[in-house]
Amino acid sequence: MRDKPIITEIEGISKSFIEWLIIEGDDHLIAKKRTTPLQLYALESLISRMRQKHKKRSDIEGDLTKRKTGFKGELALDYELGKLQGNNYYIFQDLRLKSGHLYFQLDTLLLTKHFGLILEIKNIKGTLFFDNEFGQMIRTYEDKEEGFKDPLIQAGAQRSLLREFLKENKLETIPIEYFIVISHASTILKSSQGYHDVKERVFHADHLIQKIASLQKKYKNIQVKKSKLDEIKQKLLSSHSPLLSIPLEYYQITKEEILPGVHCPSCSHLGMERIYGKWSCPKCKFTSVTAHEQAIIDYLLLLNPTISNSQCRKFLGLKSRKSAHIILNRMNLEKTGTNKGTVYRLKEGEAHIMGNRHINRGSGT
């Protein structure tokens, strides 16, 4: 059930400031801005169009909760980076690159004239134990133990891939460092004996600026020309390859299991009816002119990246080709083709804006 917007308040950060972080930011510092991950919207769409008793529903709801938690942690990191002084660096948020045949994702990359810094955020409560012997991180919370991959090993692999990326593209070689930032101040950090990297690279968010200052001192004698730094910046931006969300394939759910129809924005009932140019809810009698927009976004996120007039009519339960034509053309969609071959898709870079309407929806029966 979609009871709350994805963008919710983080402890110590106002909602308005969070929205500023992901919508406005500072163009002088943020080379690539973070947007709400499309995967979050896709999972919300999927849950809202599954039957309540679907066998995979609880797993998907759990995954959505984890992804939301991770995203909140990334926003908390953005907040801390906002305390940096000056404008002699670039920040890349949510960057996905390819080195050789491997893709790798960076939560945040800080690029300065002295060094590059990979930042991985962990928004986890409890006690974290970093086990060097078995290469894992163990979280203990409310008397329950849970194992994770060691984020230090993952970040180290990301550093190697970023180094290869720079080399492959004949870009300036700069030192690359990495930190694991813990967003919860109450999280207790422990490690196995002799695991020195934990002390150097894992810390709470409020130590981030101090740690960056230490790197600036460490690499003060290394200085990349601004033209070379800008060259790296442009290549990173042009090489970014967003991850396409295909939740049905991942969870092995068939298209036939996706419930069609239009949700009522008032009571969440699935099955609004089109009457005289408006959508009417047979359950609560609420009417809406735009209730179909969310349904079309759901279709594009879950079933197919494009939608035709006939597909729109079938999914929304429309009889009139003219009504479907009007609905599709009034939405902010990219249009290609002519006549019956016309299809519509979400515009690149605008899916997150349209997805902000994903709130207060119910789910299947």
- For residues 62 and 202, state if they share a domain: yes
Domain presence at residue 197: yes
On the question of pLDDT at 118 being above 60, the answer is yes
- For residues 21 and 160, state if they share a domain: yes
- For residues 272 and 338, state if they share a domain: yes
Nearest CA to 99 out of 166, 145, 54 is that of: 166
Looking at every residue in the chain, the average pLDDT score rounds to 87
Domain presence at residue 254: no
- For residues 40 and 124, state if they share a domain: yes
The pLDDT of residue 19 is 46
Contact 74, 121 (CB under 8 A): yes
DSSP string, 170-227: TPPP--EEEEEEE--TT-EEEE-TT-HHHHHHEEEGGGHHHHHHHHHHHTTT----HH
- For residues 79 and 200, state if they share a domain: yes
What is the percent of the chain with per-residue pLDDT over 90, rounded to a whole number?
Answer: 75
d(CA 29, CA 92): 9
Could you say which of 182, 209, 239 is where a domain stops?
239
* Mean pLDDT, residues 211-229 taken together: 94
Place 11 in a pLDDT band, splitting at 50, 70 and 90: very low
DSSP string, 294-319: HHHHHHHHHT-S-EEHHHHHHHHT--
Place 83 in a pLDDT band, splitting at 50, 70 and 90: confident
Place 36 in a pLDDT band, splitting at 50, 70 and 90: confident
Domain presence at residue 98: yes
Domain presence at residue 182: yes
Backbone Cα Rg of the chain = 23
How far CA 222 is from CA of 114, 205, 234, in Å, comes to 5, 26, 21
- For residues 98 and 206, state if they share a domain: yes
The pLDDT of residue 244 is 74
Could you say which of 239, 274, 303 is where a domain stops?
239
The pLDDT of residue 304 is 93
Domain presence at residue 248: no
- Strand arrangement of the beta sheet that strand 307-308 belongs to: 307-308, 343-346, 333-336
**What CATH code is carried by the domain that includes residue 217?**
3.40.1350.10
**Structural domain boundaries, residue 351:** 259-355
d(CA 72, CA 36): 10
Could you say which of 239, 267, 289 is where a domain stops?
239
pLDDT tens figures, 126-138: 999 999 999 999 9
The pLDDT of residue 348 is 66
d(CA 165, CA 161): 6
**What CATH code is carried by the domain that includes residue 349?**
1.10.10.10
CB-count burial class (<10 Å; 0-12, 13-18, 19+) for 204: middle
- For residues 234 and 298, state if they share a domain: no
The pLDDT of residue 6 is 47
Domain presence at residue 54: yes
- For residues 112 and 202, state if they share a domain: yes
d(CA 120, CA 178): 8
- For residues 158 and 277, state if they share a domain: no
Domain presence at residue 311: yes
- For residues 147 and 225, state if they share a domain: yes
Domain presence at residue 6: no
d(CA 174, CA 203): 24
Please state the domain count of the chain. Answer: 2
Calculate helix-pair angle for 208-218, 57-81, nearest 10 degrees.
60
- For residues 284 and 170, state if they share a domain: no
- For residues 282 and 215, state if they share a domain: no
**Token pair of 104 as six digits:** 């790798």
Calculate the dihedral angle through the C-alpha atoms of 355, 92, 238, 353, rounding to the nearest 10 degrees.
10
Contact 207, 3 (CB under 8 A): no
